[in-house]
Structures are given as structure tokens and as C-alpha cells.
Structure 1
């Protein structure tokens, strides 16, 4: 957490699955080590009940019970709007982040911790590769990103899921298995089958995430030179109207100029 400059108070998005429950325990332990007896004041668990599955409300209450046992403040956020009939996962993700962002703003929380782990990062890279993504897409998820004033922090991108299961078992902490994680109707689930085959061919998740890390460094370099080009190519007229010098843009490397 220190490497990512995380400062309490923080929120953790907790679905009740193994990844997010492990992150919650790790965050609690980190706060215990780095804070005084008031560590609990710096941690809030947030669970979004999308209302898409019959058991979702009961599962959210189950997470609330676990958090109570752990001495961690917890809130359930409900998606009460009408649900779309198509692209439901994308809509749910968008609504989930909007609810989480609003809850953090209400409490004055600047960092939201998300439990994406190494296998998630590998899946994201493969999905973006299949879409024909460039450097930014192949960089996959960033350890730190921003949405408005809120920072999304993903401290587990290099951590294998097996380690998170081990963390839960060592703590005697239960978790919820989401049946949709095994539904091949969803592209991300099918991608897990694909990368299992890739692993058998000598391309394990850690190599895919290493590629994502290489692409992240390339992305940072491109962003740096894009900002530099923008500062040189931007021309502001007397009326305050700005435009870009086409000669400078055309002289720049294509990857930079296209930004």
C-alpha cells in the first residue's frame, strides 16, 4: 500500500468473492500495522447489490455480517434503476463504479481499493488483444487510475489468485462463489478457458501480466511525449482560441501524433 501512496481513510469494493474478501483482510491488517487503535475509522467496505441474481440481496447481507464480525464498517449500495436488456455486464460495471464513486465522495474518501488480481490482468490483456487494441489497451489495468477526484487502486495485479485463497484459508474466512464466473455466455469466462490452454503451451498468466507491465511503461513514454508535443504544438490566439500547429503534429511519430 505504501508503494501506491495509499492514505486512510480508504474504501474497499467487496463483492464477497475470494479476491475482494482477501483484499479486505489484507487492508485491515495493513491499517492495524500502520495506524493506532483507531484503525477501523480508516476503512469502509462497500458492496454493490446489482439485483441481477436471485440471491444477490442475501449475499450482500452475508458480506455485511462478515464485516461486522471483523469490526469493519460496511455499506450496501443498490442498483435500483431499470436494468437494460443487452450489454448487461457493461451497464452493471458502469453503474457499480458510479455508486462506489458517490459513496466515497459522501465520506470524503479519496482511494477506492479494487481486488483485480494477476489472472484478471491476464484476461484483460487477452480480451484487448482480440479487439485489436494498441499500446494503451495492451497495458491492461493500471495499478492507479482516476475517476474524477477518486483514485482507483489495484494493489493485487501481480498477486496470483491461489495466494488469495491461501490468505482466506489461513484466516478462517469464508467467501462467496459467484455462479456467473462459470457461465460461458460471458467473454471473460471464455477467456479463462483460453488462457488455461495458453498456460499449457508455456504461456502462464505471469508472462501475460509481464507483457502488460512492458506495455504500461511504453504507454507512460508515449503519454510523456504526447504531453510534450501538446505543449509545443498548441497555439493560443489573441481571442483565447487555441489550435494545434499541423506542421508539428505531422512531424511527430505517428503514435504520438494520433493522441
Structure 2
């Protein structure tokens, strides 16, 4: 009887955390981790109390069976009392027809967006992933031969922050064989490893590591683990002594990042590799090449060939736009600037004689006629969309979304009690200008004449509008921003304004 009371008391213990998230791929590692996590959550003797297990699965839609796998995981989680959310990628996004780096950026963003969305809904402190000791060794080998610097040879820590999400890897000390033994002992289902034998990881597992074991004995695995641990310790030392000032200067938001590089020009390339990697990771992108890092160092350095720094755009990565202003590097997230679609173009020979002969041989006036004019480009996304003001002064209206942008508007009072036109003009004339640094901090707020002066309730979106407060910002940046303006030609009528006009007409009658 006493034991039963004690069990009930422990069963009612409040949870340490409301829930924990887990990235569930369906492989043996994540399935075993989910099974163990649920057992701990349901154990009445657990010191953690009862907590929810929130599984998250991304269906990349790049294999015929991927949808069936997602359905199986949903059923398995339901039977074991776990919540699961499945995000299915667009089927048009294929590894075969998408540049590798772009594909990785898009899928990585989708994965971490899912983590962030579920974290906001379920309040879990971290996402658990099923990496084990063998994954660390594979990472060490791959990172060494891909040119990773000494600080990132390991590539995996038991706890870390990735894309603003806390990641826990509780299975890193355990070997793959232990994970498989557990799955077979307790009947945990899992999908077979579908890594192709011809892929880099498939060759590493099936060919290279067995060859290393044959050449150097089984001790090679322990030495790789030690190398990864040494790299991790060196990273901690480097973080404390070399990167502190850089970290304090780096400013990051959803729109981009910027950092003043003055004083770092003479730092060794190891510093610059790590610094540029952090900027790129803050943007959700992979690290830039050493060649790009050297180009950046040269751009922010005054030397014999350059007595004055040159401001402007600099190409460091295809997926993101970068610029230099003095010694400050600015960078925009990939979603800020929509990618331009490249249309078909005729090949033109670099030999002028060949071009001349081709034109002469055509001999057809119709063929030699100038091409018809191109149709005007369609308006940018969101053009003419309305942003409704709040119901009262200083009250924000509803959010209008255009792609990744969210726009709100509110009416604010003038600085003085003077309600005449000159008070409004004075307020607009004295408005603080918005520079590119405020844009990068995602602090895009500005003043417009209130549309209520003419009886309207809303403003309209016009991407690329030329607003006086943004006169110092490069046109390439302002063209990408869906600005709200008072009026846009061709915008649909406001139903609220039409009702007001009808009511006024009825009252007058």
C-alpha cells in the first residue's frame, strides 16, 4: 500500500519540461531514441516527471516510397502515444535538377523552420537527434578530406545551437552496434539504410572504413574519435581567446547580418575561415570557400595596391548577396532577393568573322528582322495587396503576408496638437532616415501620410517603391522590399470604404 502511494506521488510529479522534440527520420538511430524517450516520459519513477514527446519528420519527396514511410511513422507514433508532425517538400524540388548547394539550403531551411514552428507551439527546449559515435567518425573523415579547418573536424557536439535551435545528441557516446542490438531486443521497427553504395557516404561506410581497419587495425576508430575530441577542445580554446570580439560585433536578424571587420585584417586565415563560416551559418547557408574569404580580406584591407577602400557589392556566395561598406561586411539571407529565372539564349560566337558569315548566309529578310518586343514583366508578388490600419490610433492592423515578409500598419498622432496640413508635413519631413543597417536588423519602420485623411482605411503594397526615408539604401535592396504606400494605381476597391460611402450617401438622401 505504501509502495502504491509512492508510485502515485511520483506519477503526479510536474514535468521538468512540458515536452521534448525529436527529429524522426525512420532510421534505426532516431527510432530507438524516440522509443527510449517515450519510455522515460511515461516512467512513473522518472525524476523528469511526465512530458510530451513531439516527433518531427520531413518527407523530402525524392523517393517513390517516401510518402508511405511518412504514413508508417504517423501510425507508429500514434500507437505509442507520441505526437508527430510531417512536413512534405514540394515534389518539383529534385536533387537531380537542383544545384547541390541550393538544394541543401532549401531542405535545411525547411527542416529547421519545422523545428522552430513546433517549438513555438509545444514549448520544448531542444530537438533531439539520433547521431552516434560512428557518425562522428564519418564526420571526421569527411571533414578532413573536404578541407575543414582544425576547429571543425569533429562537426558534432552533444549540445549545440543550429539555426537558432538547440540540438541535443544524447547517443554520441554509443556505437551503432549497440543501437541495433537495442532495436532487435525490444522490437523497435526501422527503415533500412537507403544510402546508395555509389554515394560518398556509401563508399565511406562500405569501402573506405573497412580498408582503414584492415590497414591500421581496429584502433583507427579510436584514434579518429580522439582527433575529433581534440578538435572540439581546440575549438573551445579558440572561441574564448580569438573569436570573442568578433562575436560581440556580429549583428544577426531574419533579414541578414553585418559585422565590422576593422582590426581583424592581419589575423591568420584560420580566423577568417571561422569568421566567414559564422556569418554564412547565421544566414542559413553553408560556409564560403577559402578563395572567397581571401577576396573579402583583400577588399577590407588598405595596402600598396589600394590606398582607399572601395564600397559596393561583392560576390562571395551564389546563394546570398554581400556588400562592403568601409570595413563593414553586410549580408542578406537567401530569401530576401528572389532568384532570377534564366531564359533560353542564343549562343554567340566570339569570332566576329563567323558572326558576319552567319548573317550573310542567312540571306532572309524575315530572319534578319529584329525580334518582336518582349511583353512587359508581370508585377512583383504582392503588388497592390492591401494593409489595413488598426481600428484606433496607435492600434496595429492585421498582418499582411507576402512571401517571407509580414507587413502591418497603424495610425499615429502628430507631434503637436496642430491638426493642420503643415503639422503632418513637418512630421514626415523630420522622420528619421532608414539606412541599410536598420534593414539588416529587420527594423523597417517608416512614416506615410495617413490614408484616413482622404477617408481610406488601408495602404497598399508596392515592392520597390521609392520612399524618401530610404534614399541612402541601394536600389537593389529597396526593389526587394514590399513597401506600403498610400495609393497604387489599379488596386481593387476597399469594401469598407465602399460601405462607408454608401452609408454617407444614404444619410445625405
- Judged with a 3 Å threshold, the aligned counterparts in structure 2 of structure 1 residues 173 and 94 are, in CA distance, closer, same or farther, namely same
Task: Provide TM-score, normalisation by structure 2.
Answer: 0.43
Compute the displacement of 1:106 (Å): 3.4
Residue aligned with 1:152, SS: strand
Q: CA RMSD in A?
A: 3.0
Q: Aligned equivalents of 2:75 and 2:249: distance in 1?
A: 57
Higher helix share: 1
Q: Is the 8 A contact 1:45 1:73 kept in 2?
A: yes
Compute the displacement of 1:128 (Å): 0.8
Q: Aligned equivalents of 1:231 and 1:20: distance in 2?
A: 33
Q: What does residue 198 of structure 1 align with?
A: 212
Pairing of 1:159-174 with structure 2 (within 5 A): 159-174=174-189
Q: Aligned equivalents of 2:48 and 2:179: distance in 1?
A: 23
**In the comparison of the two structures, how many residue pairs are matched?**
240
Pairing of 1:58-73 with structure 2 (within 5 A): 58-73=68-83
- Judged with a 3 Å threshold, the aligned counterparts in structure 2 of structure 1 residues 186 and 94 are, in CA distance, closer, same or farther, namely farther
Q: What does residue 262 of structure 2 align with?
A: 244
Which ranges in structure 2 are unaligned for 5 or more consecutive residues?
1-15, 251-258, 276-509
Which ranges in structure 1 are unaligned for 5 or more consecutive residues?
1-5, 235-240
Query: Is 1:98 aligned to residue 113 of structure 2?
Result: yes
Q: Aligned equivalents of 1:76 and 1:232: distance in 2?
A: 37
Structure showing greater Rg: 2
Q: Is the 8 A contact 1:195 1:204 kept in 2?
A: no
Equivalent residue for 2:202, pick from 169, 184, 189:
189
- Judged with a 3 Å threshold, the aligned counterparts in structure 2 of structure 1 residues 15 and 228 are, in CA distance, closer, same or farther, namely closer
Compute the displacement of 1:121 (Å): 1.1
Q: Which has the higher contact order (CA 8 A, sep 6+)?
A: 1
Query: Is 1:224 aligned to residue 240 of structure 2?
Result: yes
Structure 1, residues 37-79: CA drift from partner, whole Å, max 9, x if none?
Answer: xx2x421111111111111111111112221222212221211
- Judged with a 3 Å threshold, the aligned counterparts in structure 2 of structure 1 residues 244 and 160 are, in CA distance, closer, same or farther, namely same
Residue aligned with 1:34, SS: coil
Q: What does residue 132 of structure 1 align with?
A: 147
Which deviates more, 202-211 or 145-154? 202-211
Structure 1, residues 221-254: CA drift from partner, whole Å, max 9, x if none?
Answer: 01111144559999xxxxxx966336xx74x777
